[in-house]
Copies of this chain bind each other. A is one copy, B any other.
Amino acid sequence: MTIIEDARAGRITDDMMLVSKEEGLPAGKIAEGIGSGKVIITKNRLHKGIKPIGIGSGMRTKVNANIGTSGDHQSIEEEIEKLKVATGAGTDAIMDLSTGGDLREIRRRILESSLIPVGTVPIYQAAVTSVERHGFIGRMKEDEIFDAIEADGELGVDFVTVHCGVTLGTLERLKKEGRILDVVSRGGAFLFEWMIYNEKENPLYERFDRLLEIAKRYDMTLSLGDGLRPGCLADATDRAQIQELIVLGELTERAWKEGVQVMIEGPGHMPINQIEMNVRIEKELCKGAPFYVLGPLVTDIAPGYDHIVSAIGGAVAGAAGADFLCYVTPAEHLRLPTIEDVREGVIAARIAAHAADIAKGIDGSMERDTQLARCRKLLDWEGQIRLSIDPGKARRMREERRPIEDEVCTMCGSLCAIKVVNKYMKT
């Protein structure tokens, strides 16, 4: 039985109970959400010892952090440190996107070290293997793709990105569209090359049933990837993107029939005024499946600050109903992120998710804000720091410019508005 089958049969599992407690919602409501496909719990049945998380309608907006090596920079220890830093900064899930070094060993180490769900993009493994064995991604064997997925399932990976919507049909639409940045998804690009070189349909689409079998065996969630996501604002919400989304909607219903959980990956780069529409069209075409957005990035001109650009887009997307925000670090478009980039990325995405939860009306989501505001009124600095999203940074910044009087800060000194008013308006 998969969790979706349990939910449909009205069985409340331990994981549903844990998510119910975490979200402050009745377990029956969690089960109902899972049964309908609108909520997922990303957890491989072989993966023990992680904290399960609920993603989807009615749940708190979750955050994912991407880590992993590349061919140009390979250090398992550094990636393990990123996992710890990202978890410490409050990410809800992690994706290992390694493409350099011993990928199996890195994955094993990350799964063994992680306290939170782990996702992967198995086509990376297949592509790296193909380059090693055949010198070229185009010569990748179909079995190598499915073997990579199976291998991740066996290791305990909780969710896998699979770019099933990059089909001959969607590529045709891409060509007719005439984009600036045709394909910016790494997995999408690998499949694109394979399909053009072999003049064949995407195996992840054509043999979707085989994919479902593997996913079902491990109760792995499919994260249906947006291989044709726009890579710049000018390409946003074009026919190629929406064509792929239509295909993903069809595959979502097929997965649900087989008892496999699904989420849908979304853009990408887009103007702020297109975000709500994108969330709504996903919810319609994919029948309420959870929406996992990468960004969106609301401008292309800020490399070095894309965590801020993405926090803007993520907050707006979340407020409009997106369920899961993939962080973007300041290193995006420039380099493999450092440990500090990872930390900055997680905090920015958590700010966006939290702001979104308040807008969504998630019960209790504004409580900490109000507690912190009460500490401000009381000029209780320890309370303000304790309730901060990053207490260490808040304390450090205050300490670096100590005020003359402890009850205020150096911004206004004794002319602090709150202090002035407190003489007349007692708390």
A394-B334 CB under 8 A given contacts A181-B418, A358-B299: yes
| Distance in angstroms between the alpha carbons of A338 and B315 in the assembled complex | 28
Interface contact B390-A421, CB-CB below 8 Å: no
Determine if B319 and A401 form an interchain contact, defined as CB atoms under 8 angstroms apart. Answer: no
Q: How many residues of A contact B (CB 8 A)?
A: 104
Q: Kindly identify, within residues 276 to 324 of chain A, every residue whose CB is under 8 Å from any CB belonging to chain B.
A: 298-305, 307-309, 311-312, 315-316, 319
Given contacts A312-B315, A409-B334, are A137 and B420 in contact (CB under 8 A)? yes
The residue in chain B whose Cβ has the minimal distance to the Cβ of A366 is B233
A155 contacts the other chain (CB 8 A)? no
List CB contacts (< 8 Å) of A387-426 with chain B: 387-390, 393-394, 397-398, 400-401, 403-404, 408-418, 420-421, 423-425
Pick out which of these stretches binds chain B: A42-50, A214-222, A370-378. Answer: A370-378
Listed A/B pairs (14) with beta-carbon separation below 8 Å: A72-B403, A99-B412, A99-B415, A127-B415, A190-B415, A192-B424, A232-B372, A233-B369, A235-B373, A298-B355, A301-B368, A303-B385, A334-B411, A335-B397
Contact of A401 among B336, B393, B420 (CB under 8 A): B336
- Of the residues B181, B299, B387, contact of A301 by C-beta under 8 Å: B387
Question: A423 to chain B: which residues have CB within 8 Å?
Answer: 193
Give A335 to B305 CA distance when docked, in angstroms: 23
Residues facing B in A68-92 (CB within 8 A) are 70-73
Is A249's CB within 8 Å of the partner chain B? no
Q: Is A28 an interface residue (CB 8 A)?
A: no
A180: chain B residues within 8 A (beta carbon) = 370, 373-374, 377
Tell me, in angstroms, the Cα distance from A170 to B387 when the chains sit together: 32
Query: Cβ of A351 and Cβ of B302 under 8 Å apart?
Result: yes
Collect the chain B residues with CB atoms within 8 Å of residue A232's CB.
369-370, 372-373, 376
Binding site for B on A (CB under 8 A): 70-73, 99-100, 124, 127-128, 137, 180-186, 188-190, 192-193, 196, 231-235, 271-273, 298-305, 307-309, 311-312, 315-316, 319, 330-338, 347-348, 351-352, 354-356, 358-359, 366, 368-370, 372-374, 376-377, 384-385, 387-390, 393-394, 397-398, 400-401, 403-404, 408-418, 420-421, 423-425
